[in-house]
Structure 1
């Protein structure tokens, strides 16, 4: 699949998703979970050094988006959108036993987490798709929009603000 085909697929899917305004990641996950008939649960977790910053895990009754607890703000949102993209694009997920409970994560050794939830099954195309879809949704969510410049601020700050604005 060419990068152009990947982008087109992601753009088509992104158009079908209602991004809340103002942006709310929990609201987006709730809406998509209802639409899919299966809850999508966000799980901040202290992932060990060297582990991925986010993971998508399918359990019997819900899908879990695990995000490193150290990520905040726009970085956290992008990690969640990337993992959500894997889910929405139908990429192969590491499946837990249907009887598994979310509490399971609190009792696992970090080495087991890396093995069980690692992103080793995703191809390069799947990673490209997830990153493109996450970026498209993020652009629509505007979580990275710069605040309106204060007209009484330093002219250099105003110039930097204008240069960073999109569109």
Structure 2
């Protein structure tokens, strides 16, 4: 996918999000499943869980009925979760192939007591190449920028706040 095609894809997907002035990173993260579902015509279930491996931040599988199960780490802030979800969504947007789980495995994934082990199972079974991972990360980064670059801080900056302090606050909000 060249830069022009990627820019068109990112623009069309970003247009499907509610980007009102008061939208938060949490709101955007929660919208990913809906936009993804609208894009594919299949149900998308997002679960946040503590994942047993610090190198695994997210994983996606297609269940036998065509629906998607997305597992995202819950130990970071919402800006980070949004990035992880957009990365997972980018794989779908780019046509990368997920593993498919049978009905029993899918049901096990939805049970909270086995979720972390199954999340690791999914993540270790993905077949994405380094090139596909890099491509998905690029699309996710561009989507994140399109969704968040013009956001103002969630709380108004008090009058008289220095530029340095304003930039520090914005950085910490991310």
CA RMSD of aligned residues (A): 3.0
Give, in whole Å, the separation in 1 of the partners of 2:134 and 2:142.
Answer: 12
Change (3 A) 1:73 1:113: closer
Encode CA deviations 1:48-99: one digit per residue, 9 max, x unaligned: 1344111111112310111012122101110111111112211121211144
| Offset of residue 108 of structure 1 | 6.0
Where does structure 1 differ by over 6 angstroms across 4 or more consecutive aligned residues?
Answer: none
Give, in whole Å, the separation in 2 of the partners of 1:119 and 1:16.
Answer: 30
Encode CA deviations 1:94-117: one digit per residue, 9 max, x unaligned: 21114431425632673x643443
| Offset of residue 36 of structure 1 | 1.5
CA contact 2:59–2:123 (8 Å) conserved in 1: yes
| Offset of residue 154 of structure 1 | 3.7
User: Equivalences for 1:5-154 in 2 at 5 Å?
Assistant: 5-17=1-13, 18-22=16-20, 23=23, 24-61=28-65, 62-99=67-104, 100-101=106-107, 102-104=109-111, 106-107=113-114, 110=117, 113-118=119-124, 120-142=126-148, 145=151, 147=153, 149-154=157-162
CA contact 2:49–2:116 (8 Å) conserved in 1: no
Give, in whole Å, the separation in 1 of the partners of 2:113 and 2:9.
Answer: 34
TM-score, with length taken from structure 1: 0.76
For structure 1, which runs of at least 5 residues remain unmatched after alignment? Answer: none
What SS does the aligned partner of 1:118 have? Answer: helix
Moved more, 49-58 or 130-139: 49-58
For structure 2, which runs of at least 5 residues remain unmatched after alignment? Answer: none
Give, in whole Å, the separation in 2 of the partners of 1:79 and 1:21.
Answer: 19
Give, in whole Å, the separation in 1 of the partners of 2:150 and 2:86.
Answer: 13
TM-score, with length taken from structure 2: 0.74
